[in-house]
Structure 1
Amino acid sequence: MRRPRPQTIRNKLDVTDRAQVRLLKKRLGLSDAELTAIVGRIGNSIPAISKEAALQRAKVLTKPVAVPAAALITSASAGEPVTTEVAATVTTS
């Protein structure tokens, strides 16, 4: 007698399936601890996990870069020699 294979829910992460967890971690670039924290906070919905991972990545990427002060920029540019082009006049006789 054939029994139907149970259908998996495609948009839910089965935490007990090691292959599915490994593939999702690789696709999203997450560690074990990060994935566990997201699943504990958000749930096992794969789209929600993907969205949260993208938000975490965006937070890391948007840290401000140390930009020198305007006074430092102007003092550095003031020390450089300024080149001016002088138009030479040619006289023909």
Structure 2
Amino acid sequence: MDWKIFLTVLASVFIAELGDKTQLATMLFAADKEVSKWTVFFAASAALILASAMGVLAGSLLSSYINEKVLHYIAGVGFIIIGAFTLYKA
């Protein structure tokens, strides 16, 4: 296992997930006194695993057809557009 890649992905995804809508939704589910916190934890974890698996699969498929550098540019432009839209709506 490439620990440098592992730690880079771990840190990036962890920081990106802090305070996002997914974490807030999970917090709201866990706030319900009648709901098992373990159920919420395992369901949220499974959802993140599935979403991550879809991302890995999509990235693997796209990299077969599109150059990795081009994919990085596309992702960068996408993030800039999302950021600009978020600032516009604020």
Normalising by structure 1, we get a TM-score of 0.31
Which structure has more RCO (C-alpha within 8 Å, separation ≥ 6)? 1
Higher helix share goes to which structure?
2
Normalising by structure 2, we get a TM-score of 0.31
